[in-house]
Amino acid sequence: MCGLPPQPHALRRPQSLVLPSITTVIIPLVYCFSLSLSLSLCMCVCGLSASLSEVHRAIRLLSNGKAPGADCLPAELFKQGGMRLTHLLVHLFSLVWREEEVPQDFKDASIIHLYKRKGDHACCDNHRGISLLSVAGKVLTCVLLNRLPAHVDQ
């Protein structure tokens, strides 16, 4: 994934496999499904396409040092892309608004399990899951999230 060397502990299968609880598996899936529904709903509610200042602000708010999604584009790339990349994202988001269809890549998440560094590796309770999302999708989500309070008050 992303040209990075695999982590050895993530590839080894434990000798005795303990199945995770159903909530460990279902909650991330429900979140990803609700994210795709809420993005489409927000675009209908929020009206106009994203402005240059909204996208620029959303990019500035991205956290550095986080793992990228399946597209392997880290947040630092978006921050260093300058106004040219910001203009391209505004154009992409206006196409998303016009078509009222969020790209599947923005909705997909890679769910990775991480060892908590305590207890037995074989026990799934000693692992936690993280969802790796597309950074461009995070920018779009941030723009929509910043618009929602104005529409909720109405």
Is residue 148 very low, low, confident or very high in pLDDT (cuts 50, 70, 90)? confident
Please give the angle made by the CA atoms of 27, 31 and 36, to the nearest 5 degrees.
Answer: 155
Residues 114-143: b if buried by 16+ CB within 10 A, e if exposed? eeeeeeeeeebeebeeeebbbbbbbbbbbb
Is residue 135 very low, low, confident or very high in pLDDT (cuts 50, 70, 90)? very high
**CA dihedral for 52, 55, 59, 60, sign (positive or negative):** positive
Q: In the prediction, which pLDDT does 149 show?
A: 77
Q: What mean pLDDT do residues 139-149 have?
A: 86
Q: In the prediction, which pLDDT does 60 show?
A: 94
Per-residue pLDDT for 57 more than 90? yes
Contact 65, 79 (CB under 8 A): no
DSSP-derived secondary structure letter, 72:
-
CA distance 102 to 70: 16
Classified as helix, coil or strand, 7 is coil
- Which residue is it, tokens 């599947």? 104
pLDDT tens sequence across 63-75:
999 888 888 899 9
Is residue 100 very low, low, confident or very high in pLDDT (cuts 50, 70, 90)? confident
Per-residue pLDDT for 25 more than 80? no
**In sequence order, which residues have a C-beta less than 8 Å from that of residue 4 and are 6 or more positions away?**
none
